[in-house]
Chain A
Amino acid sequence: MSILVVNESADFNRLKELLNVTDGNLASHTKSLEKASYINIEKSFIGKKPNTRYYATQLGKAEFKKHINALEKLIKN
């Protein structure tokens, strides 16, 4: 979510390189984020190669902001 709230979108490989996780790990996390409606997934083809692109939803951005605020409050106290 950190990545998707400051960038318009990111594709699978970009997320993988920034987060340094395995394919399976990333896939399972994005699945649960999508289930919670925090992100949107767009699958397309670039030439012959499949490309999956992720976008944060309004709900996702709002919830993430709440999460950061909660963390900060907890640190202050």
Chain B
Amino acid sequence: MINFAFQSTFKMEENNYLKDISEIKDLMSRSSRFISLSGLSGIFAGLYAILGALLAYFYIFPKHGEVLSLNSWNFKMLLVLLASVALLSIVTAFLLTSQKAKKNKEKIWDTTTQRLLINFLIPLVTGGIYIIIKLNSQHYGLTASLMLIFYGLALVNASKFTIGYVKYLGYAEIIIGLICAAIPGFGFWFWVIGFGVLHIVYGSFMYFQEKKN
């Protein structure tokens, strides 16, 4: 109840206090967090990323000694692959999350999810634009680490409006991104770890948490 008349603090039963506190916490959480995020979608995202990486490695990457030119067909295919992985992950996440929200009777589109989306997109779009700017000036050495770092920042920012654990994935991505920046030459592998392995690990963790509750 929103009317917290002072009389309530003098109720005799302890049960009522516990009920009050848990109702308060529930309202606070429900009004500011979107909890129906699906862990399963994380697992799929990871699988898509690894699949994409395999395709890139065996079919698109230049052989030893060759350099990836920005205007080549190879590079464009790489972008297409990247976009497909991202798109598939988003669509899967959306479908699974909507399904879960319906089950939880949580609204898919309200103030909370809008805030979630905006806070997630701000670092992500910023990163995307920055990476494109860098690519245009032929600096593509840092691309993988930048992607990981901005994605991690986006997750940490969005975590305030959804399940709190997401921020740990965000921290992990940021750390991987920074390590990637520090060790040049292995961008591809860090990308696989960050977008593939971490998503699967984290998604599984979230999924088992959901099953427990």
Contact = CB atoms under 8 A, between A and B. Distances in A.
Interface of A: 1-3, 5-7, 10, 14-15, 17-19, 26, 29-30, 32-33, 64, 67-68, 70-72, 74-75
A75 B19 CA distance: 11
B27 A75 contact: no
11 contacts: A1-B4, A3-B27, A5-B28, A7-B32, A10-B31, A15-B2, A19-B27, A30-B2, A68-B21, A68-B24, A71-B9
Contacts of A74: 9, 14, 17
A30 B107 CA distance: 24
Nearest to A67: B4
Given A64-B4, A68-B24, A75-B21, A6 B32 contact: yes
B36 to A, nearest CB: 15
Interface in B52-78: none
Interface of A is mostly: helix
Given A14-B111, A70-B9, A2 B27 contact: yes
Contacts of B14: 74-75
A19 B14 CA distance: 23
A33 B32 contact: no
Contacts of B30: 18
A69 B75 CA distance: 60
Interface in B89-114: 107, 110-111
B17 A71 contact: yes
B183 interface: no
B3 A3 contact: no
Nearest to B21: A71
B20 interface: yes
Nearest to A63: B4
B28 A2 contact: yes
Nearest to A75: B17
